[in-house]
Structures are given as structure tokens and as C-alpha cells.
Amino acid sequence: MPDPIEVRKIPIESVTDASGLARLIDDGVLDADRVLAVVGKTEGNGGVNDYTRLLADRAFREVLLDRGTRTPDEVARVPLVWSGGTDGVLSPHATVFATVDPASAPRSDEPRLSVGVAMSDVIRPEDIGRPAMVETVAAGVREAMKAAGIDDPADVHYVQTKTPLLTLDTINDAKSRGHGVVTEDTLKSMDISNSTTALGIAVALGEIEPPSAERIHKDLSLYSSVASCSSGVELDRAQIVVVGNVRGVGGRYRAGHGVMKDALDADGIWDAVRSAGVDLPERPHPSDLGDRLVNVFIKCEADPSGSVRGRRNIMLDDSDVHWHRQIKACVGGVAASVTGDPAVFVSVAAVHQGPSGGGTVAAIADLG
């Protein structure tokens, strides 16, 4: 049986601020050596050259090194999944997952939060967007499920990943070895890396059969209902965090999930909160949450039809502001209006992550 989980959301007050993590450790809430993973939003542009992710990564790893006893190599293997871009009202923050001593956690036979992490094998640049990457990610997800003590894929409610995208250097590396790449547009490769990873998650959880190359990033009927995938320049393999529930593990927290059918689907967020064990009235209000909601984790995508609920929008035609930033700000506002808190995790590029034009939603609740 894995150890129970403590999970806390902390603000990030500046680009290199990790003081919230340091306080949790100094106050005895978390043990630095028991931190399993961090999932956070940084304030950069969310693009290929968003170096706020690297700055946050360094700051948080320095705290883990300074406050703990793990070696630099051990700390380097802790998944820190940073999603860049806090457009609109979104606020930079991090959600920290750590194990705790079972003797210090409430006992319960009810499903309670369990987290497993894994690092996949290296993903070569020529494999991004192709079946080989699907297979590599699927193997990593199965490893993370095992670490979480989860046998039934139905008990998985959230899989957060960070994978490499293509850069000029990695494109040239592939070419130097006689290989082509799926695209030479580095920004487009972010979306493709995310979507391919999502299919790997779906395969691991039995949601779909392994897809052919022709269906990757094209057949929008294929998706995972629990995948949340980000990509960046700071790694060469998949960092995988599997979040689910296990009976008997104990602790105060529980995970749930749902999907947003489109960018305005607040009910999809409420469904995820209910799935996490929070009792709500038929027409809930943020005040009904109290302090029970730790965080929600949402993927979003501009609808390829160019409309939402029958009304035309110009996100996909706008040459001034990329649609990544527009849809993120939109869904961030919807999510914040539900939770009453702008520090929510909203990430863009959601192909194969929930229904087309919508996205996955995971929620973690503190059941006390």
C-alpha cells in the first residue's frame, strides 16, 4: 500500500519565488524528501521560448535540495510540471504533492488520493507525433499507476505530463542522424507533442486502441477523459504524474474528473468537483465550496469549427494574439468564476484531451 498524500496549493509571487514551498517544509506540513511532484502555472508567454518555466523549475528544485537530504540527481528526477502562461485573470501558483507518514494521516476505507510518478524512456525528436511516442508514454503511465497502487484504470482521475517539443537544435539533431520530423514549426510541435502524449495515456488506460500514425493529431474522435498534457524545452522524456484514488490508503483528499464540452461549460467543472466527493446543491455557487476544493486542472482548446454554441469567434483567424492565449484567458475566467479563485490550472493545446473544442477537468478535494 502506498503512503497517503498531502497536497497543497501555493502562490508564486514572482518568477523565481518558491517561498511557499519553503514555508510548507519549514512549518512541518511537508517533508522535502517526500515531495513527489509539483504541477504549476508560470507567468510567461506559454510558448516555445517561455523561460519562466525553467526559472520556476530551478527555484523549486533549489528548495528541495536545501531543505532535504536527496542528492542533486534524485531531486532532478522529481517531476516538476510547469505550464506557462497566466493570461487573463489566471494567477501563477503551484500544487505540491507529497507523501506523509501513514501514522499521521486520517484512516479511511473510502477512496482517498494516491499519486504515482514516473519518467519515461527518452523521446527522440523524430518520434514526436508518431506511434513510437504513444508507446513510450503508455509504458510510463503504467509504471506510474503501479507506483500509485492503482490497478483499475477507472480509479485514475488525472494524468499530468510534461514532454519535449521540437526546437531547431533537436530538429537538426534528428536530420543529422538521417531522420525526419513530424513538423518543423516549433510552436505547432507543442500541440502535437501534447496530443500524442494524450493518446499514450488513453492507450495505457484502455480508453482507445493504439492509433495509427494517420490518426494522431487528426482524428478528433479519439481522446482521453483524464489527460492533461504540457510540453516544453526543458526535458527529453515524459514526466508523468498519475493521480487517482485507492481504498485504504487513508488521508483527507480525493480526486475526481469530468470534461468541459466547450469553452463555456461550467457544469463540466462542477461535475469534476462532485466526482471528488464534494456534496453540492443542484445549482451550486462558489460559496458552497468552503475550503474543500484544493484545485482544478483544466485543458482547453479553440473549437476548430470557429464557433462556440453557434456563435462565430475569430480566435483562429487572429494574427495579432495567438489563439492559445485567447482560449486560455477565456476558460480561465470561466474556471475562476466557478471556484472563486483565479489560481486555477488551465492549460492550452488539448487535442485528444477531452472532446474537441472542450477539454478535461480534474478536481482534488479536501474531505477533512
Q: Which three cell numbers stand for residue 265?
A: 461549460
Identify which of 117, 113, 165 has the alpha carbon closest to the alpha carbon of residue 141.
117
Residue ranges in the chain assigned as alpha helix (H):
19-26, 52-67, 72-76, 131-148, 168-176, 186-204, 266-275, 323-339
User: Is 132 strand, coil or helix?
Assistant: helix
Handedness of CA 202, 203, 209, 213 (dihedral sign): positive
| C-alpha span between 125 and 157 (Å, rounded) | 29
| C-alpha span between 29 and 366 (Å, rounded) | 15
Handedness of CA 10, 107, 75, 72 (dihedral sign): positive
Identify which of 11, 39, 1 has the alpha carbon closest to the alpha carbon of residue 298.
39
Binding-site residues from annotation for substrate: 53, 83-84, 194, 230-231, 328, 347-348
Alpha-carbon distances, residue 267 vs 72, 99, 199, 224, 284 (angstroms): 43, 32, 25, 19, 10
E strands, 31-110, in order: 35-42, 80-84, 93-99
Catalytic residue numbers read 162, 230
Binding-site residues from annotation: 53, 83-84, 194, 230-231, 301, 328, 347-348, 350, 353-355, 358
Half-sphere exposure of residue 78: CA atoms within 13 angstroms, side-chain side = 27
User: What angle is formed at CA 234 by the lines to CA 229 and CA 237, rounded to 5 degrees?
Assistant: 60
First to last CA, the chain: 21
Contacts of 123 (CB under 8 A, 6+ apart): 133, 136, 137, 163, 164, 236, 237, 238
Q: Which three cell numbers stand for residue 156?
A: 485514475
